[in-house]
Amino acid sequence: MTGSQPVVVAEGLTKRFGAFTAVDRLDLSIAKGEVVGFIGPNGAGKSTTIRMLCGLLRPSAGRASVAGFDVGRQPEAVRAHIGYMSQKFSLYGDLTCRENLRFFAGIYRVPRQERAERTHFAITMAGLEGREDMLVRTLAGGWKQRLALGCAILHRPPVLFLDEPTSGVEPQARRRFWDLIHTLADGGVTILVSTHYMDEAEYCNRITMIDAGRLVAIGSPRELRQQGLGGQLFEIVCAPLGAALAALRQAPGVLEVDIFGDKLHVLVHEQAVAETLRPFLTEKGITADPPRSIAPSLEDVFVQLVSRRSKAPGDAGIKP
Amino acid sequence: MFERLQVMLMKEFLELRRDRWAMFRLIVPLIIQVIIYGYAATFTVNHVATAVLDLDQSQASRSLISHFVATGRFHLVDVADRQEQITHDINTGRATLAIVIHAGFAQDLNNGRSAPLQVLVDGTNSNTALIALGYVSQIVGQFQAEEMSGVPQARAGATAPAVTASLQERPWFNPGLTDRWFFIPGVIATLTLVQVVNLTSFAVVREREMGTLEQIMVSPIKPVEFILGKTLPFFLIGFADVALVTAVGVLWFQVPFVGNPLIMLLGTSLFLLAALGLGLLLSTFSRTQQQAFALNFFLVNPLFILSGFAFPIAAMPRVLQWLTLVNPLRYFLVVIRAVFLKGVGLDVLWPPLAAMTLLGVGMLTISVLRFRKSLD
Ligand SMILES: Nc1ncnc2c1ncn2[C@@H]1O[C@H](COP(=O)(O)OP(=O)(O)OP(=O)(O)O)[C@@H](O)[C@H]1O
Ligand SMILES: [Mg+2]
């Protein structure tokens, strides 16, 4: 990470709802201008974490600071420095695009002389030219999300929290939205964005994976892919599949074997082990092609990490 | 502060304007309710179904009966000739009231003796029964007075309506004891309360449901600014409600308005403050519009019953009397009735005005304090 002060910091951040712990001792540190993806299944605690970082929810334990302000003690100051898009679309449907922008500009006290320019910027950024006077509820999903982003950045916040901004939006519009995110990050805005789409995680500088309120892993997509599995992944085309599966589970140096369609995915300690696999199978009367090294998807990594964590409770996952 | 308030207000009015049915929903039910109340809510009993058994068949007995009929309060449904017939009429509900004039009525009257007159009343509806009995004694008293001009010591007193000494009632402020005069001001207060509490709680809960509340709450806006922006429009609507319903009461139902309009203005403002406070308080306890609806529904009846609108507070059990102390409607009823009918001033009305201020400020403060928490 860079030498400058991190913009978003969480230490042991915890939120309990009654006896239920939604977010459990989460540590996080985001540098200026970084785009950090927040990944986890439904109910993992992504929204709860984001809402604590926004000063909407009080942490039950631990602390967090955003732009140098403590979220528990100075929520007002935090709010002045952030932009937030909630998971649920939340602009006024009965107001036009322009009226919504005007409303939020007023709420954030955008200086009057800058208002026209910033509103114009938001409209062009969202690609809403010609639709300024349409009622928001009549807009299609992608436009809505971009307008919401436009409203969230009217006051030029240095930090953005985007909670599943692209859910339910068609792929092309999603792509366009991510271009906007990167444009903002290039301008120095720090962004934490949660998503369900693993392909979107690839667009992030770093990814934070959480499950059941606990941090599972944090790192760049490349780091997670390389280290997340704790080995290297190979694909083998072989027959019969069942016999091969049983045999490889006993093979030395093999960590994990799974069926993927008509192939096997084999996780091995190191490259050298992979080279022994074909002879090993042939010896047992199984025909096999040479193993092919494959890059695991982030989904593979996530599933792998979660299952490993549930086998060894207390292990908070890897950290680069 | 002013800028945020301004955009809040602008947003509220834009939303109201875009809502095509808003004006209809705000005004029509109100007018309909005033009119229904104005006509239906009355303690006056007219056309009481009456059966008569005249066993005397004299000039005097016929005169008494015609006295009854002439008032319009009693409607003769049966002229019976046997006691059983009367009993049957009452039992079957054909008649609510029966008058039995025994043989010798005229004679006793002439001799200055107590003339027996029996009145039977169906007490199932105790209210109607009591009111009808009241009329009977009035009419008998009148009849007696007329007969007395000829026979000084005559008495038409009977077992039930004893009118030996006639009570001189002289109601103030409402000389005709017109129920409408008593009711309409109460109707104004009640309808306004229901409307304003409803609107306020629903408006806030709707934003909560839409998620816009959360979006606003991540901005540096202060709860006070949001709450002011959210309630000020309803304050104005509340005023319009009061003005509208008052106009209907005064112009249509001819309820007099003898008091000082400024006191009415002050009283209305403080009442609306309390109503807005109550609405906001409910909204902080409701996550969904259904919950807000349930709370409203649950509260409206107690507020109404414990206000003194129809049932005298003095007659309630002690605990319920205490409960009326936190009911803003109770205080506004005092103020609005006084302003309409009595025309008394601040020197008399300051306690209920102060109570409404206290309630309003109290509830608004609690709402503001609970506001942030309610997002959790
Ligand atoms: N106000 C609340 N009271 C009680 N429980 C809550 C509250 N808010 C969230 N939870 C619970 O906390 C857990 C985490 O919820 P959260 O919304 O943070 O998950 P998420 O990761 O955002 O999931 P999703 O992908 O579905 O948006 C869930 O089990 C949820 O039911
Ligand atoms: Mg969520």
Ligand 2 centroid to residue B281 C-alpha, Å:
28
How far, in whole angstroms, is CA B51 from its chain's centroid?
A: 32
Of B18, B214, B376, the CB nearest to A90: B214
What is the number of the ligand closest to the CA of A44? 1
Confidence of residue B158 (pLDDT cuts 50, 70, 90): very low
The structure tokens 């490349």 sit at A222
Nearest CA to ligand 1 atom 29: A43
Please list the residues that pair with A256 across neighbouring strands.
A267
Integer Cα distance of A71 and B165 in angstroms: 81
**B171-187 per-position pLDDT tens digit:** 455 444 466 777 788 88
Within-domain flag for B105: yes
Average of pLDDT values for B153-174? 42
User: Residue B115 pLDDT > 80, yes or no?
Assistant: no
This model of the complex carries an ipTM of 0.80
Confidence of residue B11 (pLDDT cuts 50, 70, 90): very high
Within-domain flag for B162: no
pTM of the model: 0.77
**Residues of chain B with C-beta less than 8 angstroms from the C-beta of A55:** 218
CB-based contact A82:A157 (threshold 8 Å)? yes
Q: Over pLDDT 90: what percentage of chain B? A: 24
Nearest CA to ligand 1 atom 24: A42
Integer Cα distance of B217 and B220 in angstroms: 7
Within-domain flag for A143: yes
User: Residue A1 pLDDT > 50, yes or no?
Assistant: no
How far, in whole angstroms, is CA A60 from its chain's centroid?
A: 23
Instruction: Residue A130: give the domain boundaries.
Output: 6-225
Residue A52 sits in the same domain as residue A169: yes
Within-domain flag for B63: yes
Residue B212 sits in the same domain as residue B356: yes
Residue B259 sits in the same domain as residue B338: yes
Residue B245 sits in the same domain as residue B345: yes
Q: Would you state the pLDDT for residue B342?
A: 79
- Tokens (6 digits) for B317: 């059990």
**A276-299 per-position pLDDT tens digit:** 888 888 888 888 888 988 887 777
Residue A189 sits in the same domain as residue A291: no
Distance in Å, alpha carbon of B350 to nearest chain A alpha carbon = 39
Residue B36 sits in the same domain as residue B56: no
Residue A106 sits in the same domain as residue A194: yes
Task: Tell me if A103 and B10 make a contact (CB, 8 A cut-off).
Answer: yes
Total count of domains within chain A: 2
Q: Would you state the pLDDT for residue A311?
A: 62
Residue B366 sits in the same domain as residue B236: yes
CB-based contact B336:B189 (threshold 8 Å)? yes
Atom of ligand 1 minimally distant from the CA of A15: 12
User: What is the 8-class DSSP label of residue B338?
Assistant: I
Residue A56 sits in the same domain as residue A199: yes
Ligand 1 centroid to residue A181 C-alpha, Å:
25
Q: Would you state the pLDDT for residue B163?
A: 37
Q: Say which range, A49-58, A108-117, B103-112, has the weakest mean pLDDT.
A: B103-112
Upper half-sphere CA count for residue B266 (Cβ side, 13 Å) = 16
- Tokens (6 digits) for A302: 């996530």
Q: Would you state the pLDDT for residue B162?
A: 37
Residue A213 sits in the same domain as residue A242: no
A15 to chain B: nearest residue by CA? B376
Per-residue CA distances from A259 to A242, A255, A277, A288 (Å):
9, 14, 16, 14
Ligand 1 centroid to residue B161 C-alpha, Å:
73
Within-domain flag for A312: no
Within-domain flag for B168: no
Whether residue A249 lies within 8 A of chain B, CB to CB, comes out as: no
The domain boundary residue, chosen from A225, A259, A277:
A225
Looking at residue B70, which CATH number applies to its domain? 3.40.1710.10
Which helix (H) or strand (E) segment holds residue A314: the answer is none
What is the bridge-based pairing of β-strands A159-163 and A82-85? Answer: parallel
Task: Tell me if A109 and B4 make a contact (CB, 8 A cut-off).
Answer: yes
User: Residue B294 pLDDT > 80, yes or no?
Assistant: yes
Please state whether A13 falls in left (phi above 0), alpha (psi between -120 and 50) or beta: beta
Total count of domains within chain B: 2
Looking at residue A255, which CATH number applies to its domain? 3.30.70.100
**B306-319 per-position pLDDT tens digit:** 988 878 888 888 88
Within-domain flag for A310: no
Residue A106 sits in the same domain as residue A158: yes
Residue B254 sits in the same domain as residue B212: yes
Residue A100 sits in the same domain as residue A169: yes
Within-domain flag for A303: no
User: Residue A178 pLDDT > 70, yes or no?
Assistant: yes
DSSP letters, A110-123, are --HHHHHHHHHHHH
Residue B29 sits in the same domain as residue B61: no
Report chain A's C-alpha Rg in angstroms. 23
Residue A213 sits in the same domain as residue A247: no
Residue A122 sits in the same domain as residue A256: no
The domain boundary residue, chosen from B93, B123, B156:
B156
Upper half-sphere CA count for residue B85 (Cβ side, 13 Å) = 14
Residue B150 sits in the same domain as residue B235: no
The domain boundary residue, chosen from A190, A207, A225:
A225
Within-domain flag for B339: yes
How far, in whole angstroms, is CA B341 from its chain's centroid?
A: 14
Residue A183 sits in the same domain as residue A54: yes
**A210-268 per-position pLDDT tens digit:** 999 999 889 998 888 877 777 788 899 988 888 899 998 888 888 888 888 888 888 88
Of A58, A89, A103, the CB nearest to B7: A103
Nearest to B331 by CA among B298, B305, B310, B308: B308
Nearest CA to ligand 1 atom 26: A42
- Tokens (6 digits) for B80: 């019976």
Within-domain flag for A317: no
Looking at residue A211, which CATH number applies to its domain? 3.40.50.300
Per-residue CA distances from A161 to A51, A90, A149, B172, B347 (Å):
9, 14, 10, 68, 58
Q: Would you state the pLDDT for residue A3?
A: 52
Instruction: Residue B69: give the domain boundaries.
Output: 48-156
CB A39 near ligand 1, within 6 Å: no
Task: Tell me if A90 and B220 make a contact (CB, 8 A cut-off).
Answer: no
Residue A47 sits in the same domain as residue A99: yes
